[in-house]
């Protein structure tokens, strides 16, 4: 085994540990002798689940009183290392999420070391980590090694690793004190809104049906919703129609949205821009419906239908409903 | 109100260039253009200054070879002036090195608000804005889908995994915006003509007071070990819809036993 210790940034959805955190724990276990978690909030609430997935200790800041995680968590980690309260890990792993990116960027300035971003695979080389990043929409792999002489900071794309419990004991919990942040910590959350729809979650569903510009108009997205609910799947969207305001960002699949790897991905009226392909190329089976035979989506589709979504989708929905 | 917008000038995404296996940097032969992601920040800044009734928009960009083509597009949209940092020693800079340069250039402007895109369309590390904020000791709100300024504070809707948060942040501050925060205007002919004579302050590292050893390849602290083609996903069966293609989808799903 290469590294002595890896720290994984912990995130939570309510009472449960976020999938990305458990995925990174699975990767970290293979690379280091000791795996620990650092997070905002109360680590006691997650110590059992994190321990089950191999974390030995959870360092947590406690409630941030509406403050954003980036500034607070990075300051707390840098402070703890500087004060000698903790031994610095050999590497930090954080998810490519809103808060993961904020913490990684703030931490990189505190420690004056770069971030290796968009990693989908990790390997140990001696006591350093190498991260693999797909570029140009996934046609080229770039492997980058931390050579800073300081702990490497790696941002990991969701769904890069399989989360798997290993029956570990409940993790120990330790406090991570947030120093006085002054004006830098002045941004406060005043209200939170949840936009997720009913049914299975987009990044967990076995079948995902996504719609794009080819639907023509916002109202036509009802075809995507209806097909998704008919097959018990989740509805997703390309960035183009999220930007156009047809559906909320929480439905976006792609580089800047969610990464999905369902058993079946159905792309309706999506041309397959790089931005989108990055988020769904890992699906086990891809079905594409698009009227342009030259659309890039057909290059990754297992089954491609060159046709009008307004004809194919209603016929498909009716056929499935009548069974 | 003074708003500084970070803009990146990138190769045309339709012709993205390639990674040179020898130098391990992006080969950028063609003219650079304004990153579309940054047009949202420029538009947001122009609208915020309009709403405030006073102030101006200043652009800051780091680019090789004193490239200004993309900056001129943003100036044509309505920004008043720009700072461009160009230096051979910046080659190979990672996101942190880039942030150090941008932060030093932005600080000279003493802005009330700094705007940036959430991530560039070519590198998409998504860390530069927050690193700039950290280097400048500014509070920040990333992933904004809506921004307003009221009573000396930015009021931001920040995207989250599940939806969005309403966040308040006193100025000065940095906000990174997503595509879709506003609809960018097209530069008018008058704007394009006016942009030709707007001031662009060109600086090198010496002019910014930055040590060349802390940026570029020297400062990156990471080494590209290899660049290789990724295994391609093979295209499958493609059929033309003759009115019965839905049946093929049904049988495809049946074979997978997912229904």
Question: CB neighbours of B156 closer than 8 A, spacing ≥ 6?
Answer: B141, B144, B146, B147, B148, B166, B167, B168, B169, B175
Contact B222 A143 (CB under 8 A): no
User: CB within 8 A of B31, min separation 6: which ones?
Assistant: B12, B67, B69
Contacts of B237 in chain A (CB under 8 A): 302-304
In whole numbers, what is the pLDDT of chain A averaged over residues? Answer: 94
Whether residue B140 is contained in a domain is answered as yes
**Which residue is it, tokens 């997935």?**
A53
Q: Do B236 and A320 touch (CB under 8 A)?
A: no
Q: Are residues A235 and A154 in the same domain?
A: no
Instruction: Say if residue A1's pLDDT is above 60.
Output: no
Determine the pLDDT at residue B152.
94
> Do B243 and A96 lie within an 8 Å CB cutoff?
no
Q: Are residues A130 and A174 in the same domain?
A: yes
Q: Is the Cβ of B126 closer than 8 Å to some Cβ of chain A?
A: yes
Say what the pLDDT of residue A65 is.
93
Residue B105 to chain A, least CA–CA distance (Å): 17
pLDDT in tens, A253-286: 998 889 999 999 999 999 998 889 989 998 999 9
Do A145 and A7 share a structural domain? yes
- Determine, yes or no, domain membership for A243: yes
Q: What is the pLDDT of residue A17?
A: 96
Q: Is B238 on the interface with A (CB under 8 A)?
A: yes
Answer whether residue A92 is part of any domain. Answer: yes
Do A232 and A138 lie in a common domain?
A: no
Asked whether residue B237 is assigned to any structural domain, the reply reads no
Sign of the dihedral defined by the CA atoms of residues A34, A69, A240, B15, in that order: negative
Phi first, then psi: what are they for A39, rounded to 5°? -160, 165
Within a domain: residue B233?
no
B232 neighbourhood in chain A, CB within 8 Å = 139
Q: How many domains, chain B?
A: 1
The pLDDT tens digits for A36-82 are 999 999 999 999 999 999 999 999 999 999 999 999 999 999 999 99
Would you state the pLDDT for residue B233?
A: 77
**Model confidence band, residue A157 (pLDDT cutoffs 50, 70, 90):** very high
Does residue A142 carry a pLDDT above 80? yes
- The helix/strand count (H/E) of chain B reads as 8, 15
**Which CATH number covers residue A216?**
3.40.50.1220
Token pair, residue A40, equals 């905002």
Does the CB of A305 have a partner CB in chain B at under 8 Å? yes
Contact A187 B140 (CB under 8 A): yes
The more confidently predicted of residues A113 and B229 is A113
Do A90 and A177 fall into the same domain? yes
CATH code, B107: 3.40.50.620
Rounded to whole angstroms, the Cα distance separating B76 from B100 reads 27
Q: How many CA atoms lie within 13 A of A213 on its CB side?
A: 10
Which pLDDT does position A115 carry in this prediction?
A: 95
Asked if the structure places residue B225 within a domain, the reply is: no
Residue A148: closest CA among chain B residues belongs to which residue? B221
Residue A197 in domain: no
| Shared-domain flag, residues A217 and A172 | no
Residue A104: which residues within 8 A CB-CB, separation 6 or more? A9, A92, A94, A115, A117, A153, A155, B127
Are A133 and A28 in the same domain? Answer: yes
Q: Say if A176 falls within a structural domain.
A: yes
Written as six digits, the tokens of B10 are 């990138």
The confidence score (pLDDT) of residue B218 equals 78
Positions in chain B whose pLDDT score sits under 70? 16-17, 28-30
Question: What per-residue confidence (pLDDT) applies to B24?
Answer: 75
Tell me if A201 is assigned to some domain.
Answer: no
Residue A186, min C-alpha distance to chain B (Å): 6
CB contact under 8 A, B166 and A207: no
CA distances for B19 relative to A180, A193, A296, B47, angstroms: 44, 41, 22, 37
* Residue of B35, B150, B161, B247 best to disrupt the A interface, most CBs of A under 10 A: B161
CB-CB under 8 Å, A306 with B241: yes
Q: Please indicate if any CB of chain B lies within 8 Å of the CB of A218.
A: no
What Cα–Cα distance (Å) separates residue A170 from each residue in A9, A41, A246, B169? 17, 17, 44, 38
Instruction: Give the pLDDT of residue A7.
Output: 98
Nearest CB among B134, B143, B221 relative to A114 is that of B221
Strand B173-177 relative to strand B113-117, pairing: parallel
Per-window interface: A 40-59 vs B, CB < 8 A:
none
Mutation test of the interface with chain A: which of B221, B234, B237, B240, choosing the one with the most A Cβ atoms within 10 A?
A: B221
A127 is in which domain, residue-wise?
A: 3-185
Minimum distance, in Å, between the CA of residue B201 and any CA atom of chain A: 27
Residue partners of B67: CB distance under 8 A and separation at least 6: B9, B31, B32, B84, B86
Could you tell me if B12 lies within 8 Å of chain A, comparing CB atoms? Answer: no
**What are the chain B neighbours of A299 within 8 Å (beta carbons)?**
233, 235
The answer to whether residues A89 and A44 belong to one domain is yes
Hey, are the CB atoms on A264 and B165 less than 8 Å from each other?
no
The CB density around residue B167, as the number of other CB atoms within 10 Å, is: 27
Interface test with A, best of B95, B123, B125 (most A CBs within 10 A): B125
Q: CB-CB: which of B16, B162, B168 is closest to A190? A: B168
Task: Point out the residue among A186, A206, A266 whose CB comes nearest to the CB of B170.
Answer: A186
In angstroms, rounded to a whole number, what is the distance separating the alpha carbons of residues A12 and A46? 8
B contact residues 48-107, partner A, Cβ 8 Å cutoff = 94-97, 99
Q: Is the confidence at residue A99, as pLDDT, over 70?
A: yes
Angle, helices A98-111/B128-135, rounded to nearest 10 degrees:
40
Quickly count: other Cβ atoms within 10 Å of residue A151's Cβ: 22
**C-alpha to C-alpha distance for A177 and B47, rounded to whole angstroms:** 40
Distance of CA A293 to CAs A269, A301, A313, B38, Å? 12, 12, 17, 32
Is there a contact between A296 and A277 (Cβ–Cβ < 8 Å)?
yes
Q: For chain A, how many structural domains are there in total?
A: 2
Residues A150 and A21 in one domain: yes
**Residue B17 confidence (pLDDT):** 67
Burial level of B231, CB count in 10 A (0-12/13-18/19+)?
exposed
Tell me, yes or no, whether B110 lies in a domain.
Answer: yes
Instruction: Please give the pLDDT value at position B204.
Output: 95
Q: Is residue A79 part of a domain?
A: yes
Chain A / chain B CB contacts < 8 angstroms: 264
Are A208 and A260 in contact by the 8 Å Cβ rule? The answer is yes
Let me know: does B111 contact B144? Beta carbons within 8 Å: no
A296 in contact with chain B, both atoms CB, cutoff 8 A: no
Considering the domain architecture, whether residues A36 and A116 belong to the same structural domain is answered as yes
The ipTM (two decimal places) reads: 0.91
Cα B200 to Cα B210: distance, rounded to the nearest angstrom? 20
Q: b/e for B39-76, b at 16 or more Cβ within 10 A?
A: bbbbbbbbbbbeeeeebbbbbbbbbeeebbebbbbbbb
pTM score: 0.90
Q: Is residue A198 part of a domain?
A: no
Q: Do A281 and B233 touch (CB under 8 A)?
A: yes
Same domain, A178 and A214: no
Question: Would you report the helix, strand and coil content of chain A in percent, each value rounded to 5?
Answer: 35, 30, 35
Closest CA of chain B from A141, distance in Å: 5
> Given CB atoms, is B39 within the 8 Å cutoff of chain A?
no
Give the residue from A99, A180, A187 with the most B CB atoms within 10 Å of its CB, the best one to mutate.
Answer: A187
Place of tokens 């602290």: B221
- State whether A110 and A245 are in the same domain: no
- A147 within 8 A of A128, measured Cβ to Cβ: yes
pLDDT at residue B180, rounded to an integer: 76
B252 occurs within a structural domain: no
**SS3 of residue A5 by DSSP:** strand
Residue tagged 């001031």 (tokens) = B199
Per-residue pLDDT tens digits for A167-209: 999 999 999 999 999 999 999 999 999 887 778 889 889 999 9
**How many Å from the N-terminal Cα to the C-terminal Cα in chain A?**
54
| Element at A224 (helix H, strand E) | helix A221-230
Closest approach of B96 to chain A, Cα-based (Å): 6
- We report the CATH number of the domain holding residue A113 as 3.40.50.620
Does A304 map to a domain? Answer: yes
- Cα(B186)–Cα(B171) distance, rounded to whole angstroms? 29
CB atoms within 10 A of CB A252: 27
């Amino acid at each position: 085994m290469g590294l002595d210790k890896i720290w994984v940034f912990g995130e939570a959805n309510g009472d449960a540990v976020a999938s990305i955190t458990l995925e990174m724990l699975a990767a970290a276990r293979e690379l280091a002798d000791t795996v620990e978690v650092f997070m905002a909030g109360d680590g006691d609430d997650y110590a059992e689940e994190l321990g089950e997935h191999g974390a030995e200790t959870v360092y947590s800041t406690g409630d941030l009183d509406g403050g954003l995680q980036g500034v607070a968590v990075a300051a707390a980690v840098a402070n703890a290392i500087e004060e000698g309260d903790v031994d610095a890990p050999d590497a930090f792993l954080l998810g490519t999420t809103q808060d993961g990116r904020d913490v990684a960027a703030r931490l990189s300035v505190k420690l004056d070391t770069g971030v290796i971003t968009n990693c989908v695979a990790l390997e140990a080389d001696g006591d350093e980590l190498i991260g693999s990043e797909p570029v140009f929409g996934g046609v080229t792999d770039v492997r980058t090694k931390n050579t800073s002489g300081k702990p490497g900071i790696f941002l990991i794309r969701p769904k890069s690793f399989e989360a798997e419990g290993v029956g570990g004991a409940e993790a120990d919990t330790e406090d991570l004190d947030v120093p006085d942040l002054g004006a830098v910590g002045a941004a406060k959350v005043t209200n939170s809104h949840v936009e997720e729809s009913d049914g299975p979650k987009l990044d967990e569903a076995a079948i995902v049906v996504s719609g794009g510009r080819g639907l023509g108009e916002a109202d036509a997205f009802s075809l995507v919703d209806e097909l998704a609910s008919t097959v018990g799947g989740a509805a997703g969207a390309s960035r183009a129609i999220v930007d156009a305001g047809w559906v909320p960002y929480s439905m976006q699949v792609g580089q800047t949205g969610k990464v999905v790897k369902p058993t079946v991905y159905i792309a309706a009226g999506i041309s397959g821009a790089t931005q989108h392909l990055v988020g769904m190329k890992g699906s086990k089976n891809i079905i594409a419906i698009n009227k342009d035979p030259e659309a890039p989506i057909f290059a990754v589709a297992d089954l491609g239908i060159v046709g009008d979504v307004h004809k194919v989708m209603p016929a498909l929905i009716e056929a499935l409903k009548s069974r | 109100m003074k708003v500084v917008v970070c803009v990146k000038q990138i190769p045309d995404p339709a012709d993205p260039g390639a990674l040179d296996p020898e130098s391990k940097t992006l080969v950028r032969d063609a003219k650079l253009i304004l990153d579309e992601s940054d047009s949202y920040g420029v538009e947001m800044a122009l609208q915020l200054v309009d709403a405030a009734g006073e102030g101006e928009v200043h652009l800051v960009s780091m680019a090789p070879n004193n490239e200004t083509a993309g900056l001129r597009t943003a100036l044509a949209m309505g920004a008043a002036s720009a700072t461009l940092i160009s230096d051979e020693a910046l080659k190979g800079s990672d996101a942190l090195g880039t942030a150090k340069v941008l932060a030093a250039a932005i600080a000279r402007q003493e802005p009330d608000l700094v705007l940036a895109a959430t991530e560039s369309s070519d590198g998409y590390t998504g860390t530069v804005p927050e690193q700039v904020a950290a280097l400048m000791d500014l509070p920040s709100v990333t992933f904004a889908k809506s921004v307003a300024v009221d009573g000396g504070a930015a009021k931001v809707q920040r995207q989250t995994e599940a939806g969005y948060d309403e966040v308040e942040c006193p100025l000065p501050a940095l906000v990174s915006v997503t595509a879709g925060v506003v609809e960018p205007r097209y530069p008018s002919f008058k704007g394009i003509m006016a942009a030709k004579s707007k001031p662009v302050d060109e600086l090198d590292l010496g002019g910014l007071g930055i040590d060349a050893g802390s940026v570029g390849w020297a400062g990156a602290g990471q080494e590209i070990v290899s660049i290789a083609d990724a295994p391609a996903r093979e295209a499958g069966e493609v059929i033309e819809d003759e009115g019965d293609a839905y049946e093929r989808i049904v049988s495809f799903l049946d074979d997978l036993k997912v229904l």
